[in-house]
């Protein structure tokens, strides 16, 4: 599933960044070499990161 259309970031990319230590959407985007543009994806990315942190 695509999380961020502006940056073509997929859910698996955000999950991988979270598993690598990203604790926020901005940290995950930086880990992927990108930054949020319009911001509509940030809440969804944050939820994915929270899920990954809960499982770990």
Note down pLDDT in tens along the chain; length 56 residues.
999 999 999 999 999 999 999 999 999 999 999 988 999 999 999 999 999 999 87
Which residue, among 13, 8, 47, has the nearest Cα to 28 in the 3D structure? 13
At 55 the pLDDT is 87
Give dist(CA 5, CA 19) in Å, integer.
22
Q: For residue 35, what pLDDT is reported? A: 87
């Amino acid at each position: 599933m695509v999380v961020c259309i502006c940056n073509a970031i997929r859910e698996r990319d955000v999950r991988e960044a979270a598993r690598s230590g990203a604790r926020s959407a901005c940290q995950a985007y930086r880990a992927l070499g990108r930054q949020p543009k319009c911001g509509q994806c940030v809440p969804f990315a944050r939820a994915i990161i929270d899920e990954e942190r809960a499982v770990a």
